[in-house]
Amino acid sequence: EVQLVESGGGLVKPGGSLRLSCVASGFTFSNAWMSWVRQAPGKGLEWVGRIRSKTDGGTADYAAPVEGRFTISRDDSKNTLYLQINSLKTEDTAVFYCTTFSFTSGWSWGQGTLVTVSS
Amino acid sequence: EIVLTQSPGTLSLSPGERATLSCRASQSVSRSYLAWYQQKPGQAPRLLIYGASSRATGIPDRFSGSGSGTDFTLTISRLEPEDFAVYYCQQYDSSPYTFGQGTKLEIK
């Protein structure tokens, strides 16, 4: 069974930085493309970005609103996905989810980690 | 970027009725790479449908997905009380993987 467990959220001041983590289990993490999705309070879902597997290049794509401030990375030896967020803004306040896709079972999601940006 | 537009924004129905939710894409979603989710307050999204019509594990057969190209539909054949929630569609055919704005299904 796929399990995704996010951590690292919390209260941060505007302009600050944060690194979120997502520990994966139940599938071959090194072969998987991984994504981050966020949801601001009371709002809809917003795709943040994705990272390819190393065998597919290991590169990342980002949504336009976060390009340049967000960086997705992975450590396949630890089955862990990361999201580095810099220059945090109040509008970055959201629950952040990590997700992955399988052709046999579709999309799997973690339970999310809350990031609150406030002075 | 593929823009997904869901309609209606809010759907008011009674238990036992049939619900039809629409998701229209601004350009073709090739390979039918479209998913549907259900979300309740305080919970992560729950995958219902992927590949436009494949039901996810454990999803009751009253939920079905159809469509191709630019027009997709989620149908709930007979509403149960637990089905009242917000529903989102998502395309994963091309980056950025975009979501629709959601349809709120409320009890009439």
Q: What percent of chain A has pLDDT over 70?
A: 100
Q: Is the pLDDT of residue A20 over 90?
A: yes
Closest CA to A110 of B42, A102, A100: A100
Of A46, A63, A110, the CB nearest to B44: A110
Band of residue A94 on the pLDDT scale cut at 50, 70, 90:
very high
Residue A11 touches partner B, C-beta closer than 8 Å: no
Chains A, B: CB contacts under 8 A, how many?
54
Q: Is the pLDDT of residue B3 over 90?
A: yes
Nearest chain B residue to A107, by CA: B47
d(CA A85, CA A72) in angstroms, rounded, equals: 9
Beta-ladder partners of A18: A85
Cα A39 to its chain centre, rounded Å, is: 12
CB contact under 8 A, A47 and B90: yes
Q: Per-residue pLDDT averaged across B21-44, rounded?
A: 96
pLDDT of residue A48: 97
Q: Cα(A48)–Cα(B33) distance, rounded to whole angstroms?
A: 18
Q: pLDDT grade, residue B17 (50/70/90)? A: very high
pLDDT at B85 (0 to 100): 98
**What per-residue string of b and e applies to B98-108 under the rule 16 or more CB within 10 Å gives b?**
bbbbbbebeee
First to last CA, chain A: 40
Any CB–CB contact under 8 A between A46 and chain B?
yes
pLDDT (0 to 100) of residue B30: 85
Instruction: Give the mutation candidate from A34, A37, A107, A113 for the B interface (greatest B CB count, under 10 A).
Output: A107
Give the 3-state secondary structure of residue A76: helix
Bridge partner list, B50: B54
What does the buried/exposed string (b/e) look like for A12-34 if buried means 16 or more CB atoms within 10 Å of the residue's CB?
Answer: beeeeebebbbbbeebebeebbb
User: What's the CA gap between A47 and B3, in Å, rounded?
Assistant: 12
- Mean pLDDT score across all residues of chain A: 97
